[in-house]
Structure 1
Amino acid sequence: MKANSVDGNVGQELRPEAWAWHLLGLVNPLLVLVGNLQGGLWTGMALVLTFGMGPLLDVLLGRARQPRPPRSTGRPLEMLLFVHAGLHFVVLATLIYRAAHDGAAWTTWGAALSTGVSSGVSGIIVAHELGHTRPKSFSWWVARTQLLSVLYLHFTTEHNHTHHRHVATRSDPASARRGESLWWFVARTIPGQFWDAAQVQ
């Protein structure tokens, strides 16, 4: 992809970002892990990062003037998925530790919320990627195990058999409709995906 300069001339060719930038995705689960082990205010640091610093940096940095071309998959990125998968279960274990240590204290609730956010990234999103692999393969089983841990096991069935076939149509509960509010979409997509997965089975 060629980048246009200010004067309209074609500039240097843009390349996909280096895979090492994706290591930043590990900051959240690692912060949750530390917070769950340390307790106290640390249990909420991942929430501050996700809902405070993250959006703030997004606004301050703005959009790229020239988007980079997408990066094709490669061994480092594939291995990073498995690192996320492993961290996901370690984070869940540290949540159990924090709950056993603090009981129903606010730190346990903070750890639970932080772990939930981390599970969305290192659990569901990573399982989404690994779930695209051949059924019954090692990657597929890792994806299924992750989804089981967040009680969303139907996802790979619905996603691969319904969403991919009917993407962005009225028959696809996983796609938001034009003008649909976030909360109406959530209320429609969750039971809709369960129902479609049951129909496939």
Structure 2
Amino acid sequence: MAAFALAAMTPVPLLILGALAGGVWLWAGFLYMALLAALLDQLIPYVAGDAPEGQEFPGADALLASVGVSALALVAVATWAVAGPSGLSAGQRLLMFFGAGFWLGQVGHPAAHELIHRTSRPLFRLGQAFYAAILFGQHASAHRLVHHRHVASDEDPNSAREGESFYRFAPRAWWGSFRAGWQAEDALRARAKSRRGLHPYAIYLTGGAVALALAFVLAGWPGVLAWAGLGLHAQMQVLVSDYVQHYGLRRARLPDGRLEPVGPRHSWNTAHWFSSAMMLNAPRHSDHHAHPSRPYPALRLPPADEAPRLPWPLPVACTLAFLPRLWRRRLGPHLRRWRENAPPLTQP
């Protein structure tokens, strides 16, 4: 737990000090997110072991809550620093925007992703609040109710097809998840025969409006633009992680017409230690799909002959995905090799 906390939370005080004082603090926070994780992953080829089956992690949820609250605070501080009377130079404002945006997408999002899978109502609401704050509230519904059910199939808007560029995938996934999540919430409420309380999408839209109103209070219309820009920056990282972690992987159709059960073969994983700690084990994606409620410190890394592995740390793979030709050229051989060597399908 100490490794998760140190890797995930270190940039927060650096960025907040940078918002107040600029200078070396801003550079430290930005370079931590933009460079350090990739360097440590490559320079120290260490793979963290799996936790013993059944081990408990009493501090896991406390760290999630700390990251979630820090994310809500950081987006407000960053908005003020970028668009308000912070006294930062234009270059320092750019460093703040990208440093905070990287942290929101690479640490805040993995934490919120875990929070919306928790059964505790306050923790779940905190995860919803994060996604509403980055103007992407639909993810709290679509991820749980659509993505986990239909992953690696054409019914899931957040599973990328082979050859599809990120720039074609992103608008399809954004709008598709908004619509599919809304429909799934409507169906859930209808089955429960209860329409009491606000519809989740009313919460998301209201939360987004409140966030932009706070941005206006902090820095006027430039603050609204800065907050929306930070939200878009974080959203792109959410979408590109979905793009990368399921790119080209498809569930087979069984003789009876049903899709094969979701298994390790339907998610790309990475074995890099530092980015996994910083991203709260989000790169161990196959095990998350197999056990959505499993605490993130307990997620296991499947053997390479059971689940496909990316050759790069997840942040590096996501960067490559923004360069479609390079992405297809570099990942194509790994995808073909996986398909040739994948274990045979075991039918239920």
- 1:85/1:122 contact within 8 Å kept: no
Give the match's secondary structure for 1:160.
helix
> 1:37-186 counterparts in 2 under 5 A?
37-64=20-47, 68-70=49-51, 74-98=57-81, 99-102=84-87, 105-134=90-119, 137-186=121-170
Query: Which has the higher relative contact order, 1 or 2, with Cα contacts under 8 A spaced 6 or more apart?
Result: 2
Deviations 1:160-184 (A, max 9, x none): 1101111121211222334544444
- Per the normalisation by structure 1, the TM-score is 0.76
1:131 Cα shift?
0.5
Aligned residues: 180
Deviations 1:111-151 (A, max 9, x none): 1221111211343221111101348x111111111111111
Q: Which runs of 5+ in 2 are unaligned?
A: 187-348
1:70 Cα shift?
4.8
Which residue is 2:333 aligned to? none
- Separation in structure 1 between the aligned mates of residue 158 and residue 51 of structure 2, nearest angstrom: 23
- Separation in structure 2 between the aligned mates of residue 73 and residue 119 of structure 1, nearest angstrom: 27
- 1:154/1:197 contact within 8 Å kept: yes
Q: Which runs of 5+ in 1 are unaligned?
A: 1-18
Which residue is 1:5 aligned to? none
Give the match's secondary structure for 1:75.
coil
- 1:123/1:150 contact within 8 Å kept: no
Give the match's secondary structure for 2:10.
helix
- Separation in structure 2 between the aligned mates of residue 108 and residue 32 of structure 1, nearest angstrom: 11
1:106 Cα shift?
2.7
1:100 Cα shift?
2.5
- Separation in structure 1 between the aligned mates of residue 12 and residue 161 of structure 2, nearest angstrom: 32
- Separation in structure 1 between the aligned mates of residue 29 and residue 71 of structure 2, nearest angstrom: 14
- Separation in structure 2 between the aligned mates of residue 87 and residue 154 of structure 1, nearest angstrom: 21
Deviates more, 1:142-151 or 1:45-54: 45-54
Which residue is 1:10 aligned to? none
Deviates more, 1:30-39 or 1:177-186: 177-186
- Separation in structure 2 between the aligned mates of residue 187 and residue 160 of structure 1, nearest angstrom: 20
